[in-house]
Amino acid sequence: MSPRAFISLGSNLGDRRAACREALRRLSDTPGLRLLRRSGLYQTEPVGTGPMPDFFNLAAELDTALSPHKLLDACQGIERALGRTAGHLEPRPMDIDILLYGDEVVEEPTLRLPHPRLHERRFVLAPLSEIAPELRHPILGRTVREMLDLLQDGARVARLGDEC
State yes or no: is 4 an active-site residue: no
What contacts 109, CB < 8 A, 6 or more positions away? none
Note if 122 is an active site residue.
Answer: no
Cβ–Cβ < 8 Å for 11, 93: yes
Residue 6, strand partner residues = 61, 100
Which of 16, 26, 38, 97 is catalytic? The answer is 97
Residue 92 appears among annotated catalytic residues = yes
For residues 89 and 49, the answer to whether their CB atoms sit within 8 Å is: yes
Rounded to whole angstroms, how far apart are CA atoms 104 and 41? 27
Residue 95 annotated to the active site: yes
Q: Are strands 95-101 and 106-107 parallel, antiparallel or unpaired?
A: unpaired
**Set 84, 103, 112, 117: catalytic member:** 84
Catalytic residue among 92, 149, 153, 162: 92
- Which candidate in 95, 117, 136, 162 is catalytic? 95
Active site residues: 84, 92, 95, 97
